[in-house]
């Protein structure tokens, strides 16, 4: 027989008069809600869009200054009584400085803030343009051209750094896409603007035009652009030191004080003040990044892919003038399909990058919140980015080869135009994935990482620029671009390696950095 049900016992009361069953209920642990990471940026969606747009506008000056100069080379040589080779040397020196200077400014921006870096860049750039407009001889032209490159070249690194300051990894794919539009749009507009100015107002007017444009831009930056460096303002809620505030922020603060807005003053007082202390930048850090396994591999692939862009940009004027009889303005317009493709890449590839990131978050059971930065330790960010980049790399290789053979066959100009647009989608889309990944694996050092990226691109691009014409002369147009496109296929296994071993390499690098940090802290404690 089964045991009879026991009668329910009345609740017991202890000596203090408290019921034991109620006491047991009170002792039960409360449900602990999962802690969410803090909001990454306090800027609103539209504020972030305007900040990224402003940063992308400043990045336009570096490629524009390089391209707007080309139509005036002959006029400059005649006016200064020098050879074409001597004038071409100013192009080479510009590209060299374009790769080296961001090593200094990018590290400075990471350690000392974005606004001071912008002011330094534009002051140098404006002074160089005024000097170029008044250059009396070739020596002045050569030196000031280097100074012009030093002022403008870092704006691309600063642009990517600003995006990393305010945009999370979940949203970064789309925003980074728009930062590459100026790099491709400038070759389309630069030669057209430069040709018109040189023909109707003289070659010196090119530099007066750049002076005025840069002057308007730096005034807008000083007045309205906020400091975004996370070492200084955190998520944007920290009160920046006075020298880092825009004039608009200062005016709003003074107006509140003058109006006696007590509530707003109390709100400002409650905000955490920045405890930022300037640290000298490590200008060698971009070079050291090249020796990191995952970073070196990523930058090597990115520079090879961008070398294809330099090959087309360099060969197009000569090829289209000889084959189709185009003038400088016509050739400038032929860059527009590439620019159109880059815009499509920002609109199409960017959301695809974000969607793939979310897919990996869902797969791992991680909440994907665009307002909060996810801890990427152990997260397969390499796969999330490069799974989108891999097919784009294949598309770029096929289009590059097809473009070369279309021009070689003297096909209708519409054919290379259409191929160029598709090429722009693939090439710039792949660049967007690698740029986003580079920032993801170097949190807090976006300016330095982008400077390393810029260095490899410019050095490889300079080699591609110098080699493409001799290659075409020796091999023919079709086979020359087949060789360049073939290099893209060679880099495909490197992508697979990075997707497989990227997490492991990143973890090893972070552990090594943590050990160094602990050793440094221990050393400082012993000294004190």
Residue 217: per-residue pLDDT:
94
What is the pLDDT confidence band of residue 32, given thresholds at 50, 70 and 90?
Answer: very low
Q: At what angle do helices 381-408 and 477-527 cross, to 10 degrees?
A: 150
* Residue pLDDT, tens place only, 322-376: 898 887 677 778 878 888 888 888 888 888 888 888 888 888 887 776 677 777 7
Domain boundary assignment for the chain: 45-238+284-521
Q: How far apart are CA 135 and CA 130, in angstroms?
A: 9
Of 382, 402, 397, nearest in space to 427 by CA: 397
Report angle CA 129, 463, 475 to the nearest 5 degrees: 130
Whether the CB-CB separation of 328 and 71 falls below 8 Å is answered with yes
Select from 3.30.300.10, 3.40.50.2300, 1.20.1250.20, 3.20.20.70 the CATH code of 45-238+284-521.
1.20.1250.20
Mean pLDDT over the full length of the chain: 82
Q: Which residue has better confidence, 282 or 325?
A: 325
* Residue pLDDT, tens place only, 145-172: 999 999 998 888 888 889 888 888 778 7
* Residue pLDDT, tens place only, 353-365: 888 888 888 888 8
Question: In sequence order, what are the beta bridge partners of 39?
Answer: 372
Residue 273: per-residue pLDDT:
58
Residue 9: per-residue pLDDT:
52
Residue 271: per-residue pLDDT:
53
Q: Which residue has better confidence, 184 or 362?
A: 362
The label of the residue with tokens 């006491």 reads: 23
What is the pLDDT confidence band of residue 452, given thresholds at 50, 70 and 90?
Answer: confident
Q: How far apart are CA 435 and CA 501, in angstroms?
A: 19
pLDDT surpassing 90 at residue 400: yes
Q: How far apart are CA 246 and CA 228, in angstroms?
A: 11
Helices (H), 225-335: 230-233, 247-259, 262-270, 285-289, 293-324, 328-333
Distances (CA, A) of 212 to 4, 217, 220: 98, 9, 13
Q: What is the value of pTM for the model shown?
A: 0.76
Residue 144: per-residue pLDDT:
94
Q: What is the largest CA-CA distance in the chain?
A: 119
């Amino acid at each position: 027989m089964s045991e009879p049900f026991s009668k329910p016992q009345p609740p017991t009361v202890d000596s203090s008069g408290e019921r034991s069953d109620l006491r047991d209920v009170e002792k039960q642990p409360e449900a602990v809600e999962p802690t969410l990471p803090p909001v990454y940026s306090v800027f609103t969606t539209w504020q972030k869009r305007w900040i990224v747009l402003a940063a992308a506008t400043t990045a336009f000056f570096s490629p524009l200054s390089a391209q707007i100069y080309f139509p005036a080379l002959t006029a400059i040589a005649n006016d200064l009584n020098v050879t074409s080779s001597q004038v071409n040397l100013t192009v080479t020196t510009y590209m060299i400085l374009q790769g080296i200077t961001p090593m200094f400014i990018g590290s400075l921006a990471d350690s000392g803030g974005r606004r001071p870096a912008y002011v330094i860049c534009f002051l140098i750039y404006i002074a160089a343009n005024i000097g170029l407009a008044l250059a009396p001889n070739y020596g002045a032209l050569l030196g000031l051209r280097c100074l012009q490159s030093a002022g403008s070249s870092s704006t691309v690194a600063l642009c990517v750094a600003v995006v990393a300051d305010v945009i999370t990894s979940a949203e970064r794919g789309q925003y980074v896409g728009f930062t590459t539009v100026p790099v491709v749009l400038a070759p389309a507009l630069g030669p057209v603007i430069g040709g018109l100015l040189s023909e109707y107002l003289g070659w010196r007017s090119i530099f007066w035009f750049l002076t005025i444009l840069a002057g308007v831009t730096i005034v807008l930056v000083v007045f309205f652009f906020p400091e975004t460096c996370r070492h200084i303002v955190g998520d944007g809620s920290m009160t920046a030191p006075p020298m880092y505030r825009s004039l608009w922020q200062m005016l709003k603060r003074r107006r509140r004080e003058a109006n006696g807005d007590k509530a707003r003053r109390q709100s400002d007082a409650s905000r955490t003040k920045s405890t930022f202390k300037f640290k000298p930048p490590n200008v060698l850090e971009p070079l050291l990044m090249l020796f990191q396994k995952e970073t070196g591999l990523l930058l090597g692939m990115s520079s090879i892919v961008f070398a294809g862009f330099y090959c087309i940009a360099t060969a197009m004027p000569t090829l289209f003038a000889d084959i189709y009889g185009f003038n400088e303005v016509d050739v400038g317009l032929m860059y527009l399909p590439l620019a159109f493709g880059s815009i499509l890449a920002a609109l199409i590839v960017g959301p695809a990058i974000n969607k793939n990131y979310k897919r990996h978050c869902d797969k791992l059971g991680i909440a994907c919140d665009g307002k909060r930065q996810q801890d990427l330790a152990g997260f397969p960010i390499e796969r999330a980015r490069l799974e989108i980049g891999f097919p784009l790399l294949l598309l770029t290789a096929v289009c590059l080869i097809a473009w070369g053979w279309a021009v070689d066959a003297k096909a209708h100009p519409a054919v290379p135009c259409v191929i160029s647009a598709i090429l722009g989608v693939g090439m710039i889309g792949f660049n967007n994935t690698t740029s986003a990944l580079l920032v993801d694996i170097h949190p807090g050092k976006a300016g330095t990482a982008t400077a390393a990226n810029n260095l490899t691109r410019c050095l490889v691009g300079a080699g591609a620029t110098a080699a493409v014409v001799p290659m075409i002369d020796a091999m023919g147009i079709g086979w020359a671009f087949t060789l360049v496109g073939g290099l893209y296929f060679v880099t495909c296994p490197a992508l697979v390696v990075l997707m497989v071993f990227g997490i492991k390499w990143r973890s090893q690098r972070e552990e090594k950095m943590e050990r160094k940090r602990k050793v440094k802290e221990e050393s400082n404690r012993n000294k004190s």
